Copies of this chain bind each other. A is one copy, B any other.
Amino acid sequence: MLDDMGLSIGQVAERTGLSVHALRFYEKEGILARQVQRGPGGRRVYTQQDIDWLRMCIMLRMSGMPVPEIRRYTELVRQGDGNELQRLDILKEHQERVQQQMVQLQECMDLITYKVGKYQDYVNSIAAKAVGQ
């Protein structure tokens, strides 16, 4: 174990649900807001801030933002103040896509629910017949 501010890659994996492989992959892909510190033996030492950032990245990924776009966003954040408008653009664009995704998903859900209803009725009617015999 490391001191209370420093977490090993294994601990971060536990806390975020990502695999250690994925964590190294994300770092290589440049989607960590700050350079990960290294401890003795070249081991990665993560902070709570890294975890917070990762959790946001996980949200972005879950909602379908591709890794390269997360990288672009990360780079803006790394560059510091002055590019908030660009960050906002990326987020708004993604928001739009997520919105569309949700609409689509709802349409699918409606169809599935309709079919489930139909099959349920049918199955029930068969069961009723069997009982009524």
Residues of A within 8 A of B (CB): 56, 59-60, 62-63, 84-85, 87-88, 91-92, 94-95, 98-99, 101-102, 104-109, 111-113, 115-116, 119-120, 122-123, 126
Q: Besides the contacts A88-B116, A91-B116, what 17 more A-B pairs have beta carbons closer than 8 Å? A: A59-B107, A62-B104, A62-B105, A63-B104, A63-B105, A63-B108, A63-B109, A63-B112, A84-B123, A88-B120, A88-B123, A94-B112, A95-B109, A95-B112, A102-B105, A102-B106, A105-B105
Q: Which residue of B lies closest to A95 (CB)?
A: B112
Q: How far is the CB of A52 from chain B (nearest CB, A)?
A: 12
Docked complex Cα distance between A92 and B116 (Å): 7
Give 27 A-B contacts (CB < 8 Å), ordered by A residue.
Answer: A59-B107, A59-B108, A59-B112, A60-B112, A62-B105, A62-B108, A63-B109, A84-B119, A84-B122, A84-B123, A85-B123, A87-B119, A88-B119, A88-B120, A91-B112, A91-B115, A91-B116, A91-B119, A92-B116, A95-B109, A95-B112, A95-B113, A98-B112, A101-B105, A102-B106, A102-B109, A105-B105
Docked complex Cα distance between A58 and B88 (Å): 33
Docked complex Cα distance between A109 and B60 (Å): 9
